[in-house]
Structures are given as C-alpha cells and as structure tokens.
C-alpha cells in the first residue's frame, strides 16, 4: 500500500512540476514575443490556457491525495461521538458521489461528445477534455488509499487496546 502511495505522490508531483515549468517557459516566451518582438506568439496563448486548466485539475487531485483540500469544518469540529463518525462518512460519500458523477462520468461524456479541435494548435478537444476523468480517477484512488490507511490505523489501535 505504501508503494502505491509513493508512486502516486511522485507521479502527481512530477506532473505538477512539469505543468509549472511549461507555464514558466512559455509564459516567458509569450511576454518576450509580445513586448520585445512586438509580435505575440499565438500558439503559446492557447497552450498556456490549456496547461493552466490541466494544472488546476492535477492540483485538485493532489490536494485530495494529501488531504489538504478546502473544507468547511464548522459542524464537524463541534460534533462528537457516533454523530461525528456518521457525519464524516456522509461527507466522504458526498465527495465520492460528486467526483464519480461529475468528474468521471461527466468528463467521459464530455470527451466522447467533443468533435472539434483547438483553433490554433489543432489538438482534438476530446484529448484535452480527458484530463477531467483522469483526475477524477486519481481523486477516487486517493480517497480509497486514505480509507485503507484509516482502517489499518484503527485496526492497530484496537490491537494495542487488547494487549
């Protein structure tokens, strides 16, 4: 289980670093061509837009993996006992439902219905839209790994109490 977590962490960090490097390099090129050469590069504008969207999706998946996503904990912080456990399970089920329904199923449906290509780079929009279901799968995988970790920690605590 730890090996899968380490590989997932490494892959997502690499993809984010690659996206940030791409944004830096082509953003600098866009600024150079616009201000120095006076003739802005057209493909970098489109590329930067798509890379920024992809970076946002990968970043959201990484935040779910690291359990550092935005959360409103006003009610869960005040809850105690079995109600807190039930509330946390309900919240996790809502998150999974949303990710599976919107990111995975909606993303696949969106990608399958896309027939156009990007205006400058001529990349099929189907290819660009596939980032949504891919990141949805990464989020679900991250949550499953979290649940497995919580289960093993709870099992260890029960073992320590019996000893």
SS3 call for 71: coil
- The residue range of the domain holding 40 is 2-162
Which tokens belong to 70? Answer: 């935005």
pLDDT above 90 for 26: yes
* Alpha carbons 26 and 37: distance in angstroms, whole number: 15
Determine what percent of the chain is predicted with pLDDT higher than 90. Answer: 49
**Residues 98-122: pLDDT tens digits?**
999 999 999 999 999 988 999 889 9
Q: Taking Cα atoms as reference points, which of 4, 17, 48, 23 lies closest to residue 138?
A: 4
- The rounded mean pLDDT for the chain is 89
Give the SS3 label for residue 39.
Answer: coil
pLDDT tens-digit map of 35-59: 999 888 888 989 999 999 999 999 9
- In terms of Cβ atoms closer than 10 Å to its own Cβ (0-12, 13-18, 19+), residue 53 is middle
Report the pLDDT value the prediction gives residue 161, as an integer from 0 to 100.
67
Position 162 scores a pLDDT of 65
Q: What is the pLDDT of residue 163?
A: 57
Total structural domains within the chain: 1
Question: What pLDDT is stored for residue 73 in this prediction?
Answer: 82
Q: Which of 17, 46, 8, 45 is nearest to 143 (CA)?
A: 8
The yes-or-no verdict on residue 77 having pLDDT over 80 is yes
Average pLDDT over residues 90-97: 91
**Threshold 0.85, pTM exceeds:** no
């Amino acid at each position: 289980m730890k090996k899968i977590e380490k590989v997932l962490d490494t892959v997502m960090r690499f993809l984010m670093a690659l996206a940030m490097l791409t944004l830096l390099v082509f953003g600098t090129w866009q600024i150079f061509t616009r201000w120095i050469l006076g003739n802005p590069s057209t493909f970098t504008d489109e590329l930067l837009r798509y890379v920024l969207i992809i970076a946002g999706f990968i970043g959201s998946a990484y935040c779910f993996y690291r359990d550092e996503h935005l959360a409103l904990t006003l009610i869960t912080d005040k809850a105690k006992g079995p109600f807190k456990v039930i509330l946390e399970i309900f919240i996790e089920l809502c998150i999974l439902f949303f990710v599976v329904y919107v990111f995975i199923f909606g993303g696949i449906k969106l990608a399958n219905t896309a027939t156009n290509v990007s205006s400058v780079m001529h990349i099929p929009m189907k290819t660009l839209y596939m980032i949504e279901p891919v990141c949805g799968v990464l989020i679900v995988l991250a949550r499953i790994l979290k649940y497995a970790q919580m289960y093993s920690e709870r099992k260890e605590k029960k073992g320590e109490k019996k000893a």
